[in-house]
Amino acid sequence: MDEFADCIYSICNAITLITISFKILILFKHRKAFLELILYTQKNFWHTNYDPYEKTVMGNCKRICTCLICIFCFFSQGTAISYAVGPMIANIGKNDSDRILPFKIWLDLPFTVTPYFEITFTIQVLTLYHIGVCYLCLDNFLCVLNLHVASQFRILQYRIENLVSLKDETKLKEASFQNPLYQADECLEAFKMYVKQHQALIKYCSRLQEVFAAVGLGQVIIFSLLICLDGYLVLLVTASLSRRLIFAFHITGCMCQLLMFTYSCDCLIQESTQIAAAVYAAPWTQLPMNKDGSALRKDLILVMMRSRVPCCLNASGFFVVSLETYTTVLSTAASYFTLLRQY
The pLDDT tens digits for 42-69 are 888 888 888 888 899 999 999 999 998 8
Write phi, then psi, for 218 (nearest 5 degrees).
-65, -40
- The residues, any chain, with a CB within 8 Å of residue 134's CB and separated by 6 or more, are 20, 23, 24
Reported as a single tens digit per residue, the pLDDT across 253-267 is: 888 888 888 899 999
pLDDT of 143 > 60? The answer is yes
Map residue 282 onto helix, strand or coil: coil
Global pTM? 0.84
Q: What's the CA gap between 264 and 259, in Å, rounded? A: 8
Map residue 14 onto helix, strand or coil: helix
Reported as a single tens digit per residue, the pLDDT across 63-111 is: 999 998 888 888 888 888 888 887 887 777 777 677 788 777 777 777 7
Residue type, 193: M
pLDDT of 149 > 90? The answer is yes
∠ CA 333-340-23, rounded to 5°: 45
Partnered with residue 320 across adjacent β-strands are 314
Q: What's the CA gap between 192 and 194, in Å, rounded? A: 5
How many angstroms separate the Cα of 226 from the Cα of each of 10, 38, 255? 12, 30, 10
Closest CA to 309 of 268, 251, 254, 280: 268
Write phi, then psi, for 30 (nearest 5 degrees).
-110, 30
Q: Please give the average per-residue pLDDT across 276-298, as a whole number.
A: 78
Q: What's the CA gap between 293 and 300, in Å, rounded? A: 11
∠ CA 154-160-163, rounded to 5°: 145
Reported as a single tens digit per residue, the pLDDT across 187-211 is: 777 888 888 889 999 999 988 888 8
State residue 164's pLDDT score: 56
